[in-house]
Amino acid sequence: MKLRIKFTKSGVMVFIGHLDMMRYFQKAMRRAEIDIAYSQGFNPHQIMSFALPLGVGVYSDGEYLDIEANSITSSEDMCRRLNEVMVEGVTVESVKLLPEQAKNAMSLVAAADYIITFREGHAPEGFSMEQFLKFCSQESIVVTKQTKKNTREIDLKSYMYEVKASEEGIYMMIGAGSANNIKPDLIFNAYAEHSGIAMDEFALMVKRLDLYADLAPEEQHKFVSLESLGEDFYE
């Protein structure tokens, strides 16, 4: 059975990197006595995959991992058992059952939304919300993106689905996942360069709100939360 687990990350846990979060959840599965399936072979490993790595220093209200389980109880029970073995800063929000044919979170993720604020004492001088939103509303924003092997030009605008000011900070929904992954810093850096303001490397406090699949990628996009693709289950 395929299960999707949604969790949040806050406090000092934002300093734990992706690989260590994977290790953390592998051990948490054992502590919570989740009946997770193992691969075959001499060194079996848990069948588990994460939707999208979260950068060190980034907070999140919506992280996901999918697991394969041999047996299940109820969403509520499994969620409670996991939370009993979590540390401060990681909370399991939900455990959902996926249809047998469901694709895993990693291959589905197409977009993410974020709230961005400036870290205390690091707000860039001369930053204007109005100017920033204006910058984001241009027809195209071409930047050069550094990849492992080379640099290439991309138009950020094709991956920026929504940018607005909100009460908590700047809200943006942007492309995520293997095909069209961009990060909020990329947009801010482009803006800083464009407007000639200096922004230091610690300026942004980024919180991811949720991850989305795109049910209509060929058309006008239809983004749905990864959580909504699974269902609650009962004993």
Partner 1 sequence: MRKQALSDEILLKIEKPARYIGNEVNSVTKDLSQIDIRFAMCFPDVYEIGMSHLGIQILYDMFNQWEDVYCERVYSPWMDLDKIMREQNIPLFALESQDPIKDFDFLGITIQYEMCYTNILQVLELSKIPLEASERTWEHPIVIGGGPCAYNPEPIAEFFDLFYMGEGETTYRILMDLYKEHKAKNSSREEFLRAAGKLPGIYAPSMYEVTYKEDGTIEEFKPKYEDMPETVKKEIVMDLTDSYYPEKPVVPFIKATQDRVVLEIQRGCIRGCRFCQAGMIYRPVRERDVNMLKDRAYKMLKSTGHEEISLSSLSSSDYSSLGELVNFLIDEFKGQGVNVSLPSLRIDAFSLDVMSKVQDVRKSSLTFAPEAGSQRMRDVINKGLTEDVIIHGAGLAFEAGWNRVKLYFMLGLPTETEEDIKGIAYLSEKIAKRYYEIPKDQRNGKVQIVASSSFFVPKPFTPFQWASMNTKDEFLHKAHVVNSTVKEQLNKKSIKYNWHEADVTVLEGVFARGDRRIGKVILNAYKKGCLYDSWSETFRNDLWMEAFEEENIDILFYTKRERSLDEILPWDFIDVGVSKEFFKKEWQRAKEEMVTPNCRMACQGCGAASFGGGVCFEAKN
Under the rule (CB under 8 A), what is the footprint of partner 1? Answer: 11-13, 15-17, 20, 23-24, 26-31, 33, 38, 42-46, 56-57, 85, 87-89, 119, 201-202
Q: How far is the CB of 105 from partner 1 (least distance, A)?
A: 22
- For the chain, the residue count is 235
119 versus 152: smaller Cβ distance to partner 1: 119
208 neighbors 58 (Cβ within 8 angstroms): yes
49 versus 180: smaller Cβ distance to partner 1: 49
User: Which are the contacts of 218, defined by CB distance < 8 A and separation ≥ 6?
Assistant: none
11 versus 99: smaller Cβ distance to partner 1: 11
30 versus 152: smaller Cβ distance to partner 1: 30
Closest C-alpha among 169, 127, 119, 108 to residue 14: 119
Q: How far is the CB of 185 from partner 1 (least distance, A)?
A: 12
Closest C-alpha among 110, 33, 11, 125 to residue 64: 110
125 versus 201: smaller Cβ distance to partner 1: 201
- Separation of alpha carbons 135 and 128, rounded Å: 10
Q: How far is the CB of 215 from partner 1 (least distance, A)?
A: 36
Q: How far is the CB of 45 from partner 1 (least distance, A)?
A: 7
Q: How many CB atoms lie within 10 A of CB 44?
A: 10
195 neighbors 187 (Cβ within 8 angstroms): no
155 versus 168: smaller Cβ distance to partner 1: 168
Q: How far is the CB of 110 from partner 1 (least distance, A)?
A: 28
Q: How far is the CB of 218 from partner 1 (least distance, A)?
A: 39
Residue 128 burial (C-beta neighbours within 10 Å; 0-12, 13-18, 19+): exposed
Q: How far is the CB of 43 from partner 1 (least distance, A)?
A: 7
Q: How many CB atoms lie within 10 A of CB 175?
A: 19
**Radius of gyration of the chain measured on its C-alpha atoms:** 19
Q: For residue 92, list its beta bridge partners.
A: 7
199 neighbors 124 (Cβ within 8 angstroms): yes
87 versus 179: smaller Cβ distance to partner 1: 87
